[in-house]
Structure 1
Amino acid sequence: MSEKGYKKIIRVTTVSGSLVGTLKGQFAFMKQFYEVIGVCSKDEELRVLSEREGVRTVGIDMTRKITPFKDLKALFQLYRFFKSERPEIVHTHTPKAGTLGLMAAYLAGVPHRLHTIAGLPLMEATGKKRILLNLVEKLTYACATNIYPNSQGIYEFVKQEGFTNDKKLKVIGQGSSNGVDITHFNPELFSVRDKETLRKELSIPLNERVLIFLGRIVADKGIHELIDAFTQISEKIDNITLIIGGDYERNLDPISPRTENLLNNHPKIKLLGWIKDVRPYLSISELMLFPSYREGFPNVVMQAGAMGIPVIATDINGCNEIIIPGKNGIIVPPKNTVRLEEAILNYLNGDSQTFSAETCRKLIIERYDQKIIWKLLHEEYERVLSSNTSTSC
C-alpha cells in the first residue's frame, strides 16, 4: 500500500516504447485508482511518460536478446525494487520483461503477478531455439497468477501448446492491450488542404493511389512478400505509391539485401523510417497492407480502421479478429506473395468500392475504443485484488 492509501501497481516492459506508445493514456487513467509505477530500460522516453501521465518511472536495463549475465543483473535489480516497493500487483508486458519481471515478483513475494501476451516470437522459431523458447515461456507463465493473451488466437495457441493452466488465462474484452484512441485517430482532423500539402512534400501526385505499410522492417512482418507483390503490381499499374513507415532491425530479424535494395531505390516506394505521428500518412492512403507472419493484436490495423481505411492483412492472430472480410478489409494467407498480389490488384481494379470509410471506422469504435479497454482492465484489477491468489509458482 502506498503512502496515500492507494494500492500499488508496477507495470514492466522491456523497452520504453511499449510504455510510452503502446500503453499511452492507460497510466493516467489508472492513476485515478492506484499508485502506478512504470519500469523499463533506461532512456529519455521514461521522462516523457512521467511528465505526460503523471506517474513515477524507474529505469532497469533489460535486453530483448538472450544475454545471461545482463539478464541475471536485471533480475536482481527487479527483485530488489519489488521487495522495497511491496506492490500488490506487478503487471508485465513483452517477452523478456515477462520472464524477468514475473520471476523477480515471485521471489519478492508479490501476491498478484499479471502478464499480458501481445505476440509470441517463438511462433516462427524452430529446432533447438523453439525448444528453449517454449521452456522460457512455461517458466514465465508458471510464475504468473494471471495471464492475458491480447487476442483470442493467442489464447487458443497457449492452450494448445500446454504452456499453462487454463484457469490463469483470460482475454480482456474483444482483445488488444490498449485499444485505440478514436478521438486522436479521426479522419475528420485532416482537411483536403492538409492532404494536398503532405502529398506535395512527398512528391506524390494528386491522382496517385497511395498504399501504406506501418511496422518494423523485418522478415516476420512479411516485408519480402509485400515488396515482391508491390513491385510486380507497379509494372501493371502506373499511378500507385507505397509508403513504408518503420525502422530496420538488422540485428534481430534482417531482410534480404535484394529487398532492402528495392526499398531504398524503387521509384514508387517512399521509405520514411520511423514515423512519430502516422495519422497524416494514413489520411492520404486508401489501403493499408499488413502481411505479417505473427502478431498479438496489431495496433496499426486498428488505427487504420479508425481512420476509415481498409486493410489487407494475413490470416493470423489479431488480424483475423480485427478484420471482417468484405466489411473493413481482406484476409490473405501468410507467406503467400501470389495471394497478396491478387488481393491488392482486385482492390485496385474495383473491390475498393466494397468498403466505406464509415463502416471501417464504426467497426473499430464499437469493439476497440480504448476507454472500453481501460474500464475492463480496471474491473479486472479490482477482481484480482479482491481474490486470494496463491503466491506459489
Structure 2
Amino acid sequence: MKIAILSSHTSSLFWFRMDMMKEFVKHGHIVIALGPETEFGWKNKFEENGIQYKQFFVERNGINPFNDLKTYRELCRFMKEEKPDKVFAYQAKTVIYGSLAAKANGIVENYLLIAGLGSIFRGNGLKNKIIKNVMKVEYYAACKASKKVFFQNNDDKKEFINNRLIEEDKITIINGSGVNLDKFKPAPLPEIPAFLFIGRLIKDKGVMEYLEACQRIKAEFPNVRCLLVGPYDSNPSALQQEDLEPFINHGIVEYFGEQNDVRPYIKQCSTYVLPSYHEGTPKTVLEAMAIGRSIITSDAPGCRETVIDGYNGFLVTVKDIDDLVIKMKNLILDSSMNKLMAERSLKLAREKYDVNLVNKSIMETMKLL
C-alpha cells in the first residue's frame, strides 16, 4: 500500500517517526513523508531509508488563515496526484488539514496521532480562548474524517472525550513513539552527578525552571554538572539568546546547541530532567530510560506516564522550582537510590516502551500486517 506520513516539522519526521516508517517499508509498503523543509536538504536522507520525501507549505506556529488555506490546497493537490491508500498525520496543522484534504479526495483510511496538546489548547487568556475554540471545531472535523486516532496519554484522550471532539471507539492508546533499544543501549553512570535537559528552548518545556534550579544546585554543589541540549525555536514562548547567556557565562549550564545524536549527552548525565508543562509522551525521556538514567519530570499530561514516582524517578509540580531543586538534591545526596532508579528506568523502557511493541500496535490498528 501507499502510505503518506504528514508532519509540520521535517526533522521530527526523520528523528521521531523513522523507526515506524522503516517498519512500514520492511512490510512492503510505499512510504511518502511530507514536511515543510526543502527537498534539497532532506530527500537523500529519507531515500537512504527507502522513503520518498516531498515538501509542502505549512506555517507551523502561525494563525494566518490564508496561509492555512494554502496548506490545505497543497495537501489536496498531493492527495489528488499521489492517491495514497492510507494517511498518517500528527502535529496540529497536519492533523487538521491533512485529514480534511484526504477526505475531500475520497481517502477514508485516515489515521491521526495526537502527540500532545500544545500551549494554545491548555493556555488561558481571551486570545487563547478564541483560538482554542476554533481548534476544537477543527479537531472535531479532523476526528470525524479519520478512521482511528492514536493518543499517547490518557489526559489528552479525556480532553477530547470531555469536549465531545471524538467518538470513543475511534481511540487507540499507544506508549508514546517508543524507543529503539538497539540504538539506545545502557551505559555506566558518571562518577560525578550530572543533570541533563534536551528539548526545544521554549518556556512550555520547563527550560526556565530547569535553569533556575541549576543555578541553585550549582551554588550548593559546584562540582555537579548541568547540561543543556536543544535548539532555539520560532514558538512565541521561545527563549532568546540573551535569556540563556547569563546562565552560560556564569558556568551554571553547559550548552551544546542542537544535536542530531543525543546519546553522548545522555551518557554524560546521571539524571535526565524534563519539567515540561505538557507532552504527548516525551521521546527524550524514553531514550534516557533506555540508556539507564533516573528521571525527574512534571506531574503533567504525558510526562507523568513515564515515571512511577519514587520508583524510577520523581514527579514534580509544574512550575515549582523549589520542588525540582529538592528532587535534584535527593539524587545528588543518595547515589545508591539514583542507581536503583536508573536500573528501574531501563526495565520500564524494555517492558513498556520498546519501539517494536509500539509499531506493532500502530500497524495492527492500520491493518498493515
Corresponding residue of 1:20: 14
Could you tell me which residue of structure 2 aligns to residue 249 of structure 1? 233
2:57 alignment partner in structure 1: 61
Call closer, same or farther: CA 1:48–1:20 in 2, change over 3 Å.
farther
Match of 2:85 in 1: 88
Partner of 1:381: 366
Determine the C-alpha separation between the residues in 2 that align with 1:42 and 1:238.
42
Paired amino acid for 1:59: Q
Cα 1:29–1:257 shift into 2, 3 Å: closer
Instruction: Provide the rounded CA distance (Å) in 1 between the counterparts of 2:101 and 2:284.
Output: 32
> Is structure 2 residue 317 aligned with structure 1 residue 317?
no
1:109 alignment partner, one of 92, 102, 106 = 106
Identity fraction in percent: 27
Counterpart in 2 of 1:159? 161
1:30 and 2:21 correspond: no
CA contact (8 A) 1:328 1:355 kept: no
User: Residue 235 of structure 1 aligns to a residue in which SS?
Assistant: helix
Deviation at 1:226, TM superposition (A): 1.2
Residue in structure 2 matching 1:99, options 96, 105, 124: 96
In structure 2, the residue matched to 1:201 is none
1:50 aligns with 2:46: yes
Q: Deviations over 1:355-393 (max 9, x none)?
A: 42332211101101111111111111118x9xxxxxxxx
Distance 1:155 1:342, change over 3 A: same
Unaligned runs of 5+ in 2: none
Check the 8 A contact 2:196/2:266 in 1, yes or no: yes
State yes or no: 1:171 paired with 2:173. yes
Separation in 1, partners of 2:243, 2:219: 17
Quick one: which amino acid aligns to residue 77 of structure 1? Answer: E
Matches within 5 A, 1:292-371: 292-350=276-334, 353=337, 355-356=339-340, 357-371=342-356
1:251, CA displacement in angstroms? 4.8
TM-score (norm 1): 0.86
| Structure 1 residues 208-219: aligned runs within 5 Å | 208-219=192-203
Letter in 1 for 2:273: L
SS at match of 1:306: helix
Q: 1:67 offset after TM fit, Å?
A: 2.6
Change (3 A) 1:29 1:107: same
Correspondences of 1:160-309 after superposition (within 5 Å): 160-172=162-174, 175-176=175-176, 178-188=177-187, 208-249=192-233, 251-255=235-239, 259-309=243-293
Letter in 2 for 1:15: H
Q: TM-score, normalised by structure 2?
A: 0.91
Task: Report the secondary structure of 2:95's partner residue.
Answer: helix
Give the direction of change, closer, same or farther, for the CA distance of 1:60–1:256 in structure 2 (3 Å limit). Answer: closer
Q: Distance in 2 between matches of 1:378 and 1:266?
A: 49
One-letter amino acid of the structure 1 residue matched with residue 36 of structure 2: S
Q: Give the direction of change, closer, same or farther, for the CA distance of 1:16–1:112 in structure 2 (3 Å limit).
A: same
Distance 1:242 1:135 in 2: 40
SS in 2 for 1:281: helix
Q: 1:256 to 1:60 in 2, by over 3 A?
A: closer
Displacement after TM superposition at 1:338 (Å): 1.0
Structure 1 residues 109-162: Cα deviation after superposition (integer angstroms, max 9, x where no partner): 111221101111134422232332332243234233221112222112222233
Counterpart contact for 1:50–1:57, Cα < 8 Å: yes
* Secondary structure of the corresponding residue to residue 9 of structure 1: strand
Post-superposition shift, 1:48?
4.2
1:351 CA displacement: 6.3
CA drift of 1:55 comes to: 1.7
Give SS of 1:58's match.
strand
- Equivalent residues of 2:57, 2:74 under 8 A apart: no
Q: Secondary structure at the match of 2:276?
A: coil
Aligned residue for 2:227, secondary structure, equals strand
Query: Deviation at 1:245?
Result: 0.1
CA contact (8 A) 1:20 1:48 kept: no
Q: Which amino acid aligns with 2:35?
A: C
With over 3 angstroms needed to count, the CA separation of the structure-2 counterparts of 1:180 and 1:257, relative to structure 1, is closer
- Name the counterpart of 2:123: 125
Of the structure 1 ranges 235-244 and 48-57, higher mean CA displacement relative to structure 2 is found in: 48-57
Instruction: Tell me if the contact between 2:116 and 2:302 (Cα under 8 Å) persists in the aligned partners.
Output: no
8 Å CA contact 2:186, 2:346 repeated in 1: no
In the TM superposition, what is the alpha-carbon distance from 1:14 to its structure 2 partner? 0.8
Secondary structure class of the residue paired with 2:18 = coil
Displacement of 1:216: 0.9
Contact 1:16 1:45 in 2 (8 A): no
Q: Does the 8 A contact of 2:47 with 2:53 survive in 1?
A: no
CA contact (8 A) 1:159 1:166 kept: yes
Give the partner amino acid of 1:160. Answer: N
